[in-house]
């Protein structure tokens, strides 16, 4: 047994893909990079493992699978309150699929044609966001909530209440709302919002400003979640070409 296999894993991952050859290949690469990996051959097997077994830190999920597609697996996970971060790993490279994945609650979307180093970097960024609470400074750690008008953010549990009603946000969505609320009344750029989710300096999407589509997808989903509890919600203003602002009527 190698030294890598004897070490404590960097994290526990689940790879869900009906392509056995691809699943075996990516599993081997991830294990060599120091991760513990469990493979699932289809969506039903993945849901069973997530429901009844120990939950991984991240799920790498294929989109095109028989019976249950990846996006359907994600919907069922979120409906069952299984909040494990999901990274789609798929041959479907069109932006429409990426936006659908983010709107569905995924944290990232990586084409299978990209190099393993790209996937590894995305996994590391996701893990770093999960661990950020462990490295807060003492003053920040002692701060348990943020309030601005009718919104209240509980920092110790990453929960949001709007007018006293809970809004079910993912961890990434919570962080985007927190950033905008803490800078309420000021414009927050697409780049700042994107960096919060994907890591500073990361580039994705088509063209120099392709990352903006990612941010728009996140904000669209956030707005909808607030409107699910208050159909009059209009606190996120959009300023095309720059970004968003909390506290302004939705201009988009």
73, 81 in Cβ contact below 8 A? no
Distance of alpha carbon 45 from alpha carbon 41, whole angstroms: 7
Q: Determine, yes or no, domain membership for 220.
A: yes
Point out which residues pair with 165 in neighbouring strands.
Answer: 162
| Residue 246 pLDDT greater than 80, yes or no | yes
185, 89: one domain: no
CATH number at residue 108: 3.40.50.2300
Tell whether 144 is covered by a domain.
yes
For residue 107, being part of any structural domain is answered with yes
Alpha carbon 146 to its chain centroid, in Å, reads: 22
- pLDDT > 70 in the chain, percent: 83
3-state secondary structure of 113: coil
Domain of 234: which CATH number? 1.10.10.10
Residue ranges making up the domain that contains 157: 137-246
Instruction: For residues 71-94, give the mean pLDDT.
Output: 87
| 166 and 127 both lie in a single domain | no
Strand arrangement of the beta sheet that strand 145-148 belongs to: 145-148, 151-154, 159-162, 165-167
Query: Is the pLDDT confidence value at 70 over 90?
Result: yes
Q: Which stretches within 90-166 are classed as H helix?
A: 95-103, 116-131, 138-142
On whether residue 41 sits in a domain, the answer given is yes
pLDDT at residue number 5: 46
Q: Mean pLDDT over all residues of the chain?
A: 82
Between 250 and 74, the more confident residue is 74
Round to whole Å and give the CA distance between 230 and 236.
Answer: 13
pLDDT of residue 62: 94
Do both 31 and 101 map to the same domain? yes
Residue 119: CB partners within 8 Å, gap ≥ 6?
Answer: 26, 60, 87, 89, 110
1 lies in some domain? no
40 within a domain of the structure (yes/no): yes
Out of 96, 112, 133, a domain closes at 133
Asked whether the beta carbons of 106 and 74 are under 8 A apart, the reply is yes
Within a domain: 73:
yes
pLDDT of residue 78: 86
pLDDT at 20: 93
Integer Cα distance of 216 and 156 in angstroms: 27
Is the same domain home to 58 and 147?
no
Say if 222 falls within a structural domain: yes
Structural domain count of the chain: 2
């Amino acid at each position: 047994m190698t030294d890598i296999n004897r070490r404590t894993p960097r994290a526990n991952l689940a790879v869900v893909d009906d392509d056995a050859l691809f699943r075996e290949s990516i599993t081997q690469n991830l294990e060599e990079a120091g991760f513990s990996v469990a493979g699932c051959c289809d969506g039903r097997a993945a849901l069973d493992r997530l429901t009844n077994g120990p939950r991984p830190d991240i799920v790498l999920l294929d989109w095109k699978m028989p019976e249950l597609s990846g996006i359907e697996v994600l919907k069922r996970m979120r409906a069952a309150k299984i909040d494990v971060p999901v990274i789609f790993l798929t041959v479907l490279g069109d932006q429409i699929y990426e936006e659908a994945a983010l709107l569905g609650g995924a944290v990232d979307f990586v084409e299978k044609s990209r190099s393993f180093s790209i996937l590894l970097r995305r996994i590391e960024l996701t893990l770093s966001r999960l661990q950020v609470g462990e490295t807060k400074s003492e003053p920040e750690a002692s701060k348990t909530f943020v309030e601005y008008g009718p919104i209240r953010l509980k920092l110790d549990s990453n929960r949001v209440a709007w007018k006293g009603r809970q809004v079910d946000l993912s961890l990434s969505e919570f962080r985007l709302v927190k950033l905008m609320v803490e800078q309420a009344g000021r414009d927050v750029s697409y780049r700042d919002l994107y960096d919060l989710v994907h890591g500073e300096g990361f580039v994705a999407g088509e063209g120099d400003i392709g990352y903006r589509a990612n941010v728009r997808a996140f904000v669209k989903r956030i707005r909808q979640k607030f409107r699910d509890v208050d159909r009059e919600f209009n606190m996120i203003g959009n300023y095309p070409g720059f970004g968003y602002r909390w506290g302004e009527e939705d201009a988009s």
